[in-house]
């Protein structure tokens, strides 16, 4: 790659060529100005579309050994009408909620000092110790799937979360304000011939552990308290969960919620994909082997997919899955390096030693302070070479640009390297969000990082018992 000085002279020459009799005009930076390690994209690609351009999921076929669900952005035009009609939160509100979730994950990870990371085989050999003060922050979950619950099946639109275990829906009877407003009718257990409340004293109730909430009328109670103060409580139950026309989970254990409060609105509930026994992934180990993958759509106007089961296809970069006793729900990998514009950043290994949570619910990737400072400095330097005007910070995002008048934008590539050499090279939509560098500083050096959903978009992320794989350009 050429030096910054050479790129800078090239950018200056282009600027002079763009100056004419009418004064300085916005300059279009095309492939001719692009240096190795940089990518040029249309500025229009950052503008969200108002119509759905991909109504059906595009997922690899797994020879009938998997279930594939359509995955959409909750507030986009491809979402079910009952969720897409909800008011889209402002960028400021979304980033504030995202910060609450990230801070909660990092507090959980640091609750006992530095996480004791182990490979998954070692973790399986001993029981995870779970702290008594447990919770999650549902704050900014973005992606939904539609499934059916009960017999006959009733459609339920659920937010997908790799950082939660127990799934739940709102159930009758539940009068306001005990239940929040949702677009679908509440699930009515009395209308399902396959519904059963989990009895007290049974193994399923005993297995709730920290989610247990006593017994009432011999029925097992559950409670989940989230990091932002939201909570759901009700009867731990079982019923038929229909994923697709050919895939159903008999006796699926879930929370039948009779009292909810907090940041829930519009959705019918939550689908937990975490690592503990209450999650959908663990409940379907017999059918799908504890394997799942997802592809988060790049834009709200396109669709992705959630797949349970199936053998891996070619093209994945794979890294080892780790565990931490302090955060047993989370999927953790080891980030080992970051490059910008094709150049590896100088970040001491100790800075990244806390591991990285792969989380669908966090929007913006969080890095330890030293790693983020190095990334920001290199990215700003690369952008300065092209002379883009800066814009004011947007919430937690402090490196922002004004691309008004530009038909194309040239960005330095950003690549993340994980243990075993797995490398994820981000597309433009994984680098910029809201016109800003979609990374933020959080926590402390040596502490946990979080791989947010902006950086996961368009990759198929495949998770099994021992590894996490990334395959680019999958949706």
The three-point CA angle 313-319-320 to 5° equals 120
Task: Kindly state whether residue 127 falls inside one of the protein's structural domains.
Answer: no
Measured N-to-C along each axis, helices 369-384 and 4-17 cross at an angle, to the nearest 10 degrees, of 40
Per DSSP, the three-state class of 146 is: strand
State how many domains the chain has: 2
> Rounded to whole angstroms, how far apart are CA atoms 306 and 294?
4
What's the CATH code of the domain at 270?
2.40.70.10
Task: Kindly state whether residue 270 falls inside one of the protein's structural domains.
Answer: yes
Task: Kindly state whether residue 43 falls inside one of the protein's structural domains.
Answer: yes
Residues 296 and 320 in one domain: no
Residues 183 and 294 in one domain: yes
pLDDT at 66: 73
Average pLDDT of adjacent 10-residue blocks, the chain of 475 residues: 36 34 34 68 76 60 66 71 55 77 81 47 31 29 85 92 92 86 88 97 89 91 78 95 93 95 78 94 94 87 87 90 88 97 96 94 93 97 93 93 92 96 93 92 92 93 95 91
pLDDT at 134: 25
Of 309, 330, 348, the residue that ends a domain is 309
pLDDT at 54: 63
Residues 276 and 340 in one domain: no
Task: Kindly state whether residue 413 falls inside one of the protein's structural domains.
Answer: yes
Residues 151 and 25 in one domain: no
Task: Kindly state whether residue 448 falls inside one of the protein's structural domains.
Answer: yes
Residues 15 and 94 in one domain: no
> Rounded to whole angstroms, how far apart are CA atoms 448 and 450?
7
CB contact at 8 A, 110 and 448: yes
Of 271, 286, 309, the residue that ends a domain is 309
Cβ neighbours for 423, distance < 8 A, ≥ 6 positions apart: 317, 415, 416, 417
pLDDT at 275: 94
Residues 217 and 324 in one domain: no
Domain that holds residue 180: 66-100+135-309
pLDDT at 337: 97
Catalytic annotation present for 239: no
The three-point CA angle 124-309-306 to 5° equals 110
Residues 42 and 70 in one domain: no
Nearest C-alpha neighbor of 109 from the set 149, 59, 45, 163: 163
Residues 273 and 387 in one domain: no
Task: Kindly state whether residue 54 falls inside one of the protein's structural domains.
Answer: no
| Catalytic residue from among 161, 184, 228, 429 | 161
pLDDT at 165: 93
pLDDT at 411: 94
Residues 164 and 209 in one domain: yes
pLDDT at 418: 97
Task: Kindly state whether residue 55 falls inside one of the protein's structural domains.
Answer: no
Catalytic annotation present for 137: no
Per DSSP, the three-state class of 112 is: coil
Residues 377 and 435 in one domain: yes
Task: Kindly state whether residue 378 falls inside one of the protein's structural domains.
Answer: yes
- The Cβ of residue 377 has, within 10 Å, a number of other Cβ atoms equal to 13
| Catalytic residue from among 184, 228, 239, 359 | 359
CB contact at 8 A, 334 and 352: yes
Residues 292 and 326 in one domain: no
Of 309, 339, 360, the residue that ends a domain is 309
Residues 254 and 288 in one domain: yes
- The Cβ of residue 31 has, within 10 Å, a number of other Cβ atoms equal to 10
């Amino acid at each position: 790659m050429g030096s910054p000085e050479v790129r800078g002279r090239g950018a200056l020459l282009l600027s002079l060529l763009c100056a004419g009799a009418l004064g300085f005009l916005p300059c279009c930076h095309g492939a001719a100005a692009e240096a190795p390690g940089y990518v040029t994209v249309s500025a229009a690609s950052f503008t969200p579309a108002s119509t759905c351009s991909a109504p059906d999921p595009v997922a690899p076929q797994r020879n009938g050994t998997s279930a594939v669900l359509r995955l959409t952005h909750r507030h986009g035009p491809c979402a079910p009408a009952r969720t897409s009609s909800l008011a889209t939160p402002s960028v400021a509100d979304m980033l504030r909620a995202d910060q609450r979730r990230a801070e909660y994950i990092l507090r959980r990870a640091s609750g006992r000092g530095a996480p004791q990371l182990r490979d998954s085989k070692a973790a399986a050999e001993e029981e995870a110790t779970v702290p008594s003060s447990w919770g999650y922050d549902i704050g900014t979950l973005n992606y939904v799937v539609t499934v059916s619950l009960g017999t006959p099946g009733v459609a339920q639109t659920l937010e997908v979360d790799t950082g939660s275990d127990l799934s739940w829906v709102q159930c009758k009877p539940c009068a306001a304000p005990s239940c929040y407003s949702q677009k679908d009718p509440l699930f009515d257990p009395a209308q399902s011939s396959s519904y059963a409340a989990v009895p007290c004293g049974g193994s399923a109730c005993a297995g709730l552990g920290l989610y247990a909430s006593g017994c009432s009328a011999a029925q097992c109670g559950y409670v989940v308290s989230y990091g932002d103060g939201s909570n759901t409580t009700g009867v731990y139950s079982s019923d038929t969960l229909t994923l697709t026309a050919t895939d159903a989970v008999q006796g699926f254990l879930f929370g039948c919620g009779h009292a909810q409060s907090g940041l829930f609105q519009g959705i019918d509930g939550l689908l937990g994909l975490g690592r503990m026994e209450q999650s959908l992934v663990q409940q379907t180990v017999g059918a799908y082997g504890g394997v799942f993958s997802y592809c988060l759509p790049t834009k709200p106007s396109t669709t992705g997919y959630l797949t349970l089961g199936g053998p891996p296809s070619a093209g994945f970069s794979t890294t080892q899955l780790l565990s931490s006793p302090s955060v047993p729900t989370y999927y953790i990998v080891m980030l080992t390096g970051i490059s910008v514009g094709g150049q590896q950043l100088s970040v001491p290994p100790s800075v990244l030693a806390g591991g990285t949570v792969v989380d669908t619910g966090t929007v913006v990737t969080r890095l330890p302070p030293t790693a983020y400072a190095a990334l920001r400095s290199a990215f700003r330097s690369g952008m300065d070479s092209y002379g883009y005007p800066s814009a004011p910070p947007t919430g937690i995002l402090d490196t922002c640009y004004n691309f008004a008048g530009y038909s194309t934008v040239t960005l330095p590539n950003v690549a993340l390297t994980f243990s075993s050499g797995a490398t994820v090279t981000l597309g433009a939509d994984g680098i910029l969000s809201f016109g800003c560098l979609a990374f933020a500083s959080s926590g402390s050096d040596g502490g946990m990082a979080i791989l947010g959903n902006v950086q996961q978009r368009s990759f198929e992320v495949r998770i099994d018992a021992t590894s996490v794989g990334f395959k680019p350009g999958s949706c």
